[in-house]
Structure 1
Amino acid sequence: MAERMWTIDSIWHGLPMPELRQAFLQQVHLAPLPDLQATLDRWIKLVADPGTAQPKIEALREWIKQHGREPEELHTRGLDHWHNTWKAQQEQPD
């Protein structure tokens, strides 16, 4: 696969749900400068190959199925992008 020149705009347009786009912009705007590239890299990975998030999303679904709720540490451990992806998939018909 050829290396693509990503921009904030192209990442934003590659996200399928408005909630994901909002979470992306929020994380980019609030990321400390030393962490900005890592933040962007995570979003690029999600947009470039959405299948890479699937195992984590499935594990989260199973946990919620067993416990009836989201794990408390979901948001405090910086996993909001996985949460948003999971929510986006829940809203899609099977």
Structure 2
Amino acid sequence: MQYFVVMIDYGRRGREAIVDPEITRREVISRIESGEYKNISFIHEIVDSSVEDITADILGEATLPDIGTSGADLQADQFDRLRDLRKHETA
């Protein structure tokens, strides 16, 4: 049996491991290229009872779109800004 584990890091909101035994290597690459998988912590390939970290290989194969700073996590930035404003409020 072979499958892939893609760990997505959402920052302060936590992490999510995506495990689907039916997804292929090509499908993982396709999802990275489409932007469905972002902020990847690691990608592991599980074959029988062995685990291999293939993050660099997969990311090297994926043609990533060029996104500037406009692709930053704006929601997290907004949460940080609101937290900072609350810290500096006077009672």
Q: Which category of TM-score, normalised to the shorter sequence, fits these structures?
A: under 0.3
Asked which structure has the greater CA Rg, the reply is 2
Greater RCO, CA 8 A, separation 6+: 1
> Greater strand share, 1 or 2?
2
TM-score between both structures, scaled by the size of structure 1: 0.22
